[in-house]
């Protein structure tokens, strides 16, 4: 599916990712954290070392679904994905799985053109079709306004950091 960015030379097509896109997905994951201020190269390398087998496995078993935006020359300029988790059901949602948006990244030259919005809309639609009762994410400061416009709301989730 194509998306008009308003800039003819920056038109993109969005497609589903495959196992062959693993290195691109990992690159985007690294750059996402880098752009959020995580500049420690050793920490980024350690994250990629553990992320590579994790995402390879999840791409193979269908517990990770990726969508990638490509420009006219088939260069990936943006992407994101959904992690699918087995999860306990509740009275509000008897579906025993959860979906989480992860790895949202857009190359700087392609930001603020509606590409990330379209990627998230595609993921939300996919979740609806698959019967999920909700989808969640962790928003960066830059991403928060987009997610709020799409209807995401903060919850009462709490966290205790153990490291």
Q: Model confidence over 9-30: pLDDT tens digits? A: 679 999 999 999 999 999 999 9
* CATH architecture designation of domain 2-149: 3-Layer(aba) Sandwich (3.40)
Asked whether residue 1 carries a pLDDT value surpassing 70, the answer given is no
Q: Model confidence over 44-78: pLDDT tens digits? A: 999 999 999 999 999 999 999 999 999 999 999 99
d(CA 146, CA 158): 22
H/E segment holding residue 119: helix 115-130
- Answer whether 81's CB lies under 8 Å from 18's CB: no
In this prediction, residue 75 carries a pLDDT of 97
Sorted by where each begins, the domain ranges of the chain are 2-149
Residue whose C-alpha is closest to residue 123's, from 149, 104, 95: 104
């Amino acid at each position: 599916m194509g998306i008009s960015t308003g800039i003819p030379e920056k038109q993109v097509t969005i497609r589903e990712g495959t196992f062959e896109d693993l290195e691109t997905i990992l690159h985007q994951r690294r750059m996402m954290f880098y752009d959020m201020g995580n500049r420690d190269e050793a920490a980024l390398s350690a994250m990629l070392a553990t992320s590579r087998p994790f995402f390879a496995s999840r791409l193979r078993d269908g517990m990770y679904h990726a969508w990638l935006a490509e420009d006219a020359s088939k260069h990936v300029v943006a992407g994101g994905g959904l992690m699918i988790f087995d999860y306990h059901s509740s009275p509000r949602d008897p579906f025993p799985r959860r979906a989480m948006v992860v790895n949202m990244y857009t190359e700087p030259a392609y930001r603020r053109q509606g590409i990330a919005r379209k990627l998230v809309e595609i993921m939300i639609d996919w979740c609806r079709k698959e019967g999920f009762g909700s989808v969640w994410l962790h928003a960066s400061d830059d991403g928060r306004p987009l997610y709020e416009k799409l209807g995401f709301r903060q919850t009462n989730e709490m966290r205790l950091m153990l490291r």
